[in-house]
Amino acid sequence: MAAPPGLEDPLLQTISGPRDLRLLPSAHLQALAREIREFLIGKVMARGGHLGSNLGMVEITIALHRVFHSPEDTLLFDTGHQAYVHKLLTGRQAGFDTLRTLGGLSGYPSREESPHDHIGNSHASTALAYADGIAKARRLKGEEGRSVVAVVGDGALTGGLAWESLNNLSDGEGRPVIVVLNDNGRSYAPTHGGCARALGPLLESLGFVYIGPVDGHDIAAVERALRTARTLPSPSVVHCKTRKGYGYRPAELDLGEHMHAIPASDPQTGKPLSGTGLTWTQVFAEHLCALGETRPGLVAITAAMPGPTGLDAFGKRFPGRMFDVGIAEQHAMVSAAGLAMEGFHPVVAVYATFLNRAFDQVLLDVAMQGLPVTVVLDRAGITGPDGASHHGMWDLAILSAVPGLRVAAPRDGRRLRELLEEAVDCTGPAALRFPKATAGIELAAVERSDGMDVLWSSGHDVLLIAIGAMAEPCLEAAALLGAEGVGVSVLDPRWVLPVAPGVRQAVGAHQLVVTVEDGVVTGGAGAVIGQECGIGPRMRHLGLPHAFIQHGSREQLLAEAGLTGPGIAHAVRKELAR
């Protein structure tokens, strides 16, 4: 066996897997940690991704792979965006040149990518439940000696599911699961709630052996704590205190989010390399603040994401009227219902993908009671490089099942302002959806009728019903088809659900109707329009496939789904040819 490299040699390139790491002398570990940070800063700055959370996980991850033998021992990362160092130490260094690109390395753990990744879902607060099930299975199979370790951090312990899992793990019968808490005091923003202040006594009263707090940037200290936990016959918690963005000055100075998730940026300054024009989120944030000036009953709620959803501006403008409830979407919705019962109008801003977690509350606690709550769904449709678990592509299909809920999809920034204003004036529940992108150019209407906008009118051969941001490619398709002599109308319903009478009238006036949405076709807005209008084979629905779509740029993935001007025009030609 070759001798380990000297301190002057690059260390990271000698690590092709956890076994190499375990053979590395302890004296070299701090140098390795520095190399890992330099590697992450270079690669993530070049392509974008989750930086701050991973910079804070370097020493913990080194210690984990030195104490435990993955994949025989099971390491579960919650949240998944803190697993970059784990990927580096399990033989995926070369993949970082393709991080979060189409066909490249995922930004989250991926079962398809490596046997060292046991789970692929990257939503927070789930790992403890996975650990409970895996440990139960090991006990039933009589497998001894294979540790189950759940690495919980970045605020995941503020989620209710995590506490349901702790409750189940606490009986501890033959299930010595090890919980490693990466406590950086934050999720996307500072972690809220009282649990963090009473972790030790609280967890010990539940039956866990509590070890800590430990300096999470001291590899030797973390290793000692993990080796102690590994010997215990009962469940344990190793509490590691860390700093998000540790070791990179621009991230440490970014007190808002410590460069949690970043676009391609300059490694010297930490500033984005490009980006012009207001994003949808910025348009929403600015107009919500404007509405707050004249509506004292308007309040805002976020589930640990005031910055990414744009609500931090509202909170600064109106202290006391913005509530960050932690990673707890279910609580956010029911708390909003309570506020609405008392005469306020809550705006709950969440990523569309996280709406899935609070469907029961939207259905039964908000809509069934007819409460005036506005749900703003950021990053609806294809989000791009975050992949399958983060695409907000199910929202329209989910919300179409909710009676009494109005759903709007603005096509541009001006319509976002209009529809947000209409939503907060509603006497019942409403939702708005918009993508992760620049708001783009204003798309003026030819005419407005019954609250709907006609964007193009050159005949009655084809009606394109454009849902939200799909208006621009629909207009491009109309121009292509019009040049070929096809009479086309493009309609933006503005309020997509429920289907307005005017949509039925427009449908009846055209030979072929094509609905276009950046949500799943199955059960989506187009399907509802088809059911309401009942015209069968004269209608075609374009949207995202009934599948889990992997990561890539938004533009690439929309093109693959045929949701571009040429793609829509091609689909129309095929239908006309029939």
Q: Do 275 and 266 meet the contact criterion of CB atoms below 8 Å apart?
A: no
Report pLDDT for 189. Answer: 42
- Residue 535: is its pLDDT beyond 80? no
User: Binding site membership for Mg(2+): which residues?
Assistant: 154, 184
Report pLDDT for 123. Answer: 83
* Residues forming the active site: 244, 329, 357
Q: Do 557 and 499 meet the contact criterion of CB atoms below 8 Å apart?
A: no
450-577 is classed in which CATH architecture? Answer: 3-Layer(aba) Sandwich (3.40)
Token pair for 472: 């621009």
List, in order, residues 6 or more apart from 297 with CB less than 8 Å away: 343, 344, 345
- Residue 35: is its pLDDT beyond 70? yes
Phi then psi for residue 430, to 5 deg, are -145, 160
Q: How far apart are CA 83 and CA 92, in angstroms?
A: 12
Query: Of 484, 548, 571, 566, which Cα lies nearest the Cα of 108?
Result: 548
Residues of the chain with CATH 3.40.50.920: 450-577
User: Binding site membership: which residues?
Assistant: 81, 122-124, 154-156, 184, 248, 329
Report pLDDT for 59. Answer: 97
When comparing pLDDT for 457 and 263, which is higher? 457
Chain segment 184-242, per-residue pLDDT in tens: 875 434 454 455 456 777 888 888 899 988 999 999 999 999 999 999 988 999 999 99
Average predicted confidence (pLDDT) for the chain: 90
Residues of the chain with CATH 3.40.50.970: 21-251, 280-433
Q: Specify the pTM.
A: 0.88
- Residue 276: is its pLDDT beyond 80? no
Chain segment 313-368, per-residue pLDDT in tens: 999 999 999 999 989 999 999 999 999 999 999 999 999 999 999 999 999 999 99
Give the fold, CATH level 3, of 21-251: Rossmann fold (3.40.50)
Q: Do 153 and 53 meet the contact criterion of CB atoms below 8 Å apart?
A: yes
Give the fold, CATH level 3, of 280-433: Rossmann fold (3.40.50)
H or E segment at 86? Answer: helix 84-89
- What is the 3 state secondary structure string of 407-453? EECCCCHHHHHHHHHHHHCCCCCEEEECCCCECCCCCCCCEEECCEE
Q: How far apart are CA 92 and CA 351, in angstroms?
A: 29
Report pLDDT for 1. Answer: 35
Chain segment 122-170, per-residue pLDDT in tens: 788 899 999 999 999 998 998 888 999 999 987 788 888 988 999 899 8
Confidence of residue 90 (pLDDT cuts 50, 70, 90): very high
Chain segment 503-513, per-residue pLDDT in tens: 999 999 999 99
- Average the pLDDT over 18-35 and give the result: 95
User: How many residues would you count in the chain?
Assistant: 578
Q: How far apart are CA 254 and CA 516, in angstroms?
A: 40
Within 10 A of 447 (CB to CB), how many other CB atoms are there? 9
When comparing pLDDT for 323 and 100, which is higher? 323
Q: Do 229 and 236 meet the contact criterion of CB atoms below 8 Å apart?
A: yes
User: Binding site membership for thiamine diphosphate: which residues?
Assistant: 81, 122-124, 155-156, 184, 248, 329
Q: How far apart are CA 135 and CA 120, in angstroms?
A: 18
Confidence of residue 536 (pLDDT cuts 50, 70, 90): low
H or E segment at 337? Answer: helix 329-341
Q: Which residues of 91-107 are buried (b: 16+ CB within 10 A; e: fewer)?
A: ebbebbeebbbeebbbb
